């Protein structure tokens, strides 16, 4: 005779395999997943999202279809994702930029904490100071001295107004009393193209985008913005080692779902991401780009997002920056 406890266990197991929908509900996922990337192709988000999407397309049995919706520092794609159905079949791959946006923009059409459900971080990425070879410097100290001697001459690219790439340089400018010109792009990919072409002089870029250019010698790397050197690039000093004290900035990329997405879908995606990072080949892809794997739980990621919003609000306030959409 089957006990009531056994029946409850069976019901719980069935619920874990399907989304709410009554009789006949199919195992999740039962169709392709749409992943909104709010930046242009070729940027840091793509560098991690695409290999992860390929991996999860296999392990989850449904294709991860990545859609780039770039513009306004990542807020165009975020707005579209916030309006998507919370059915588990649209996800959003955002970044640290979306915690900055909460205090930087005078009015956002969404709220990253209220309109999204946190899933997990997919990559923690150092930023690196990279300069075009024609800039006559080889160290960070030489760079600061050159910038001071040539106020307004140097320009820098970013993935867009209000992104971490932008504010990282603004913070650096404040601390070192420098005057430089900002040129925003619709993502790190197009910014990198112009940096390689010499249209901009330098950038504080995510290591994921810059790693191939540093390895090939197309860009000069002056320092990483983290407390420790990056194992994959042991010859690049930290900011502190290069002579700039009290400066720490890093980039991260993560997955959210629109508000109302069932917990079964959120937990399944997080578990599959964490499982993917147990694969040595996946770990190597992240390592080669100077990054650390993610995989934290939705609860842990939610707390992290809240702390990041508070941290960047202080930087935005000190910079005096405000952007109108």
Q: What is the pLDDT of residues 169-185, one digit of tens each?
A: 988 998 899 999 999 99
Per-residue pLDDT tens listing for the chain (325 residues): 444 444 444 444 444 444 544 444 579 999 999 999 999 898 889 999 999 999 999 999 999 999 999 988 899 999 999 999 999 999 999 999 999 999 999 889 999 999 999 999 999 999 999 999 999 999 999 999 999 999 999 999 998 887 888 889 988 998 899 999 999 998 889 999 999 999 999 999 989 889 999 999 999 999 999 889 999 999 999 999 999 988 888 889 999 999 999 999 999 999 999 999 999 999 999 999 889 999 999 999 999 999 999 988 988 887 777 888 6
Contact 28, 265 (CB under 8 A): yes
For residue 256, what are the CA distances in angstroms to 57, 69, 266? 17, 15, 8
Q: Which domains does the chain have, with CATH numbers?
A: 31-124+251-319 (3.40.190.150), 126-250 (3.40.190.10)
**What is the per-residue pLDDT for 19?**
54
Give the pairing type, strands 90-95 and 33-37: parallel
**What is the per-residue pLDDT for 8?**
42
For residue 304, what are the CA distances in angstroms to 41, 60, 77, 113, 120? 27, 26, 21, 11, 10
**What is the per-residue pLDDT for 319?**
74
State in Å, rounded, how far the first CA of the chain is from the last one: 64
Per-residue pLDDT tens over the stretch 271-283:
999 999 999 999 9
For residue 88, what are the CA distances in angstroms to 54, 175, 257? 18, 44, 7
The residues, ordered by sequence, that sit 6+ positions from 186 with a Cβ below 8 Å of its Cβ are: 39, 40, 70, 71, 159, 160
Whether the CA torsion 222, 228, 230, 231 is positive or negative: it is positive
Give dist(CA 262, CA 244) in Å, integer: 46
User: Considering just the CA atoms, what is the radius of gyration of the chain in Å?
Assistant: 21
Determine the 3-state secondary structure of 18 from DSSP.
strand
């Amino acid at each position: 005779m089957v006990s009531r406890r056994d029946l409850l266990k069976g019901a719980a197991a069935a619920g874990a395999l399907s989304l709410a929908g009554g009789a006949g509900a199919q195992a999740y996922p039962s169709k392709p997943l749409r992943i909104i990337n709010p930046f242009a192709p070729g940027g840091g988000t793509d560098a991690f999202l695409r290999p992860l999407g390929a991996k999860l397309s296999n392990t989850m049995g449904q294709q991860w279809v990545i859609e780039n919706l770039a513009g306004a520092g990542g807020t165009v794609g975020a707005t579209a994702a916030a309006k998507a159905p919370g059915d588990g079949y649209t996800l959003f791959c955002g970044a640290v930029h979306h915690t900055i946006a909460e205090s930087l923009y005078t009015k956002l059409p969404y709220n990253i904490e209220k309109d999204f459900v946190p899933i997990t971080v997919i990559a923690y990425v150092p930023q690196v100071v990279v300069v075009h070879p024609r800039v006559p410097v080889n160290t960070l100290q030489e760079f600061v001295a050159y910038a001071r001697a040539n106020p307004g001459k140097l320009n820098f690219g970013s993935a867009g107004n209000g992104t971490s790439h932008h504010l990282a340089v603004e913070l650096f400018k404040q601390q070192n009393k420098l005057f430089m010109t900002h040129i925003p792009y619709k993502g790190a990919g197009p910014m990198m193209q112009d940096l390689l072409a010499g249209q901009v002089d330098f950038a504080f870029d995510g290591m994921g985008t810059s790693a191939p250019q540093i390895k090939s010698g197309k860009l000069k790397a002056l320092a990483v913005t983290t407390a420790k050197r990056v194992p994959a690039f042991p010859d690049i000093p930290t900011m502190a080692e290069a002579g700039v004290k009290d400066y720490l900035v890093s980039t991260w990329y993560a997955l959210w779902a629109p508000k109302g997405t069932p917990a079964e879908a959120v937990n399944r995606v997080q578990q599959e991401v964490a499982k993917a990072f147990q694969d040595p080949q996946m770990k190597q892809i992240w390592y080669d780009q100077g990054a650390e794997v993610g995989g934290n739980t939705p609860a842990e990621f939610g707390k992290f997002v809240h702390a990041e919003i508070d941290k960047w609000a202080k930087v935005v306030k000190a910079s005096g920056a405000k952007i109108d959409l």
